[in-house]
Amino acid sequence: MAKDIDKMINALSAKKVPVATLDTKWHKLFTKVVKTPEVEEYEGKLNELLKKQGRVNNEVKEIKRVKKELMDEIVNLMDDENDSKVEKVKEKIDRCNEEIDSHNDELMELPKQIAEVNKQLMIHTMETCYDELKENEKGIDELAKWLANIRIELKKNVVRKQEYEIANQEIYSYMHDIFGAEVIDLFDMKYNPSDNPIKKNSES
């Protein structure tokens, strides 16, 4: 099993895979397979990183919006002789730039973190599915053997049934010949020989 998983991991490393929790097919996969604690753990980590990435992107957009307003304010203050106002606005712009730089650094690291956690999630997904496939294969093999045995028993029982039917036909025929139809009819026979070909032949 370990060798098979290693092969899967190597194949995965060479392939660009989608972000698992954003892929509808990945979610559909787990309508057939039960998530292990490891899968749930990395699924949670990945979702948190994706939320963080979305949140940071929104924060950058908001800071850039504020920065644009401050830049417009600087333009309006160009003719104002109050330098202190201009300086305060510049300080705010500088803080915006610092926050943008800080967020940009974070946004550069987040894709790497997302890719790594996604890879781990995919590895655990493959392990989980592999185990499920092997378990299903065992079930398939067991049922195939059971069905094979049932077919053998069925064939045997068909032969037994035919043997019983032939025996009953012969017994009824002998009794009919020995005792006659009138005597046989006096008994409540559990065996119903109405379609008995032997009886029909003897009557004809």
CA pair distance 108, 120, nearest whole angstrom: 20
Which residue type is seen at 146?
W
203 token code pair: 């009557």
Q: What does the block give as tokens for 194?
A: 């109405």
- Return the CA Rg of the chain: 42
pLDDT at 197: 47
Confidence check: pLDDT of 11 > 90: no
Tens of pLDDT, residue by residue over 111-134, are 999 999 998 999 899 889 989 999
Distances in whole angstroms, Cα of residue 57 to Cα of each of 113, 144, 159, 160: 16, 55, 77, 78
**Torsion 54-59-64-66 (CA) sign:** positive
pLDDT of 202? 47
Tokens of 105: 């650094």
Is 80 exceeded by the pLDDT of residue 5? no
Task: Tell me how far apart the alpha carbons of residues 93 and 47 are, in angstroms, rounded to a whole number.
Answer: 33
Is residue 201 very low, low, confident or very high in pLDDT (cuts 50, 70, 90)? very low
What digits encode the pLDDT tens for the residues 42-96? 999 999 999 999 999 999 999 999 999 888 888 777 766 667 778 888 889 999 9
With 70 as the cut, is the pLDDT of residue 3 above it? no
Return all residues near 3 (Cβ < 8 A) that are at least 6 apart: none
pTM over cut 0.75: no
